[in-house]
Amino acid sequence: MLKKRLIFNLLHSNGYFMLSRNFTLQQVGDINWLRDNYKFWESSKFLDEIIILDVSRTDSDFNKFIDTVQNVVKSSFIPVAVGGGIKRLEDVDQLIRSGADKVVINSMFYSNPDEIKKITSKYGIQSVIASIDYKRNKNFDEVYINNGSKKIEIDLVEHIKRVIDVGVGEILLNSMDQDGTGQGFDLDVINRIGDIKNTSLIISGGAGRVDHFSEALILDYDAASTANLFNFIGDGLRCSREDLMAKKINIPVFDRD
């Protein structure tokens, strides 16, 4: 049986990790801070996957980002998906060479789907996660690209159809309304996006409490992700995992001794 996954999403910008609230960023510390103050590498034992996104709003230092990716890959033995600002196949080549197992792509699904086809024909569709930032409007969901700064003219349902047509292994749905609020996931989104039962779905945005993950994973989501460093680093991930197990949600079982 395929298990549900608990994912941590590290937001990175020019050497620092960030907190995001409704897409406004706040710098919190560098990789040493993450290691020393939050024992992140210990916490990663309670995770099933890590996503690292370069969320730099201006020119980003790609070498610093690669350095961070390699540090995370070296310190954990779970899949690492990497993204943020990917514009061409060569960016993907470099990320995969640096230890990324998958890449996360957002804006390019809208602006340059042909380039994504080049990536999937080289690495397979399982190597690509489509990240979609959306915001609730009255009767539909709007989709934003370029770090949430530009609204596109098609809605979430239509955008997902196009993304699946281009070819993708998984879809990361990030609610901009819930992002960083700690109020819980937008659990209902799965009911609004129609029939996409053959592509894995990762829900993101809004986790703030230990039991928010089980609220999502008891539904048909394949994975739930949080970028909320303050709420979950330390004991939070271990407690979240224990909560999932106590609620009989099927998550991976790891040998621990």
- Binding residue (CB under 8 A) for other proteins from 94, 126, 146, 181: 126
Task: Give me the half-sphere count of Cα atoms (radius 13 Å) on the Cβ side of residue 249.
Answer: 24
Q: Copy the structure tokens of residue 88.
A: 């061409």
Q: Does 135 bind other proteins (CB under 8 A)?
A: no
Is 255 exposed, middle or buried, given 0-12, 13-18 or 19+ CB atoms closer than 10 A?
exposed
Total binding residues toward other proteins, as defined by CB under 8 A: 42
Q: Does 138 bind other proteins (CB under 8 A)?
A: no
Contacts 24+ apart (CB under 8 A), 111-114: 111/145, 112/87, 113/162, 113/166
- Binding residue (CB under 8 A) for other proteins from 15, 79, 184, 234: 79
Instruction: Determine contact, residues 69/82, Cβ cutoff 8 Å.
Output: yes
Q: Does 218 bind other proteins (CB under 8 A)?
A: no
Distance separating alpha carbons of residues 17 and 201, to the nearest angstrom: 25
Any catalytic annotation for residue 133? yes
Residue type, 159: H
Q: Which one is catalytic: 48, 91, 133, 179?
A: 133
Q: Does 117 bind other proteins (CB under 8 A)?
A: no
Query: Of 182 and 252, which has the nearer Cβ to other proteins?
Result: 252
- Which window, 29-37, 93-101, 132-140, 241-249, contacts other proteins (CB under 8 A)? 93-101
Name the residues that contact other proteins, by CB under 8 A.
1-3, 5, 45, 48, 70, 73-74, 77-80, 96-102, 121-127, 169-170, 197-200, 222-223, 251-257
Catalytic sites, residue numbers: 133
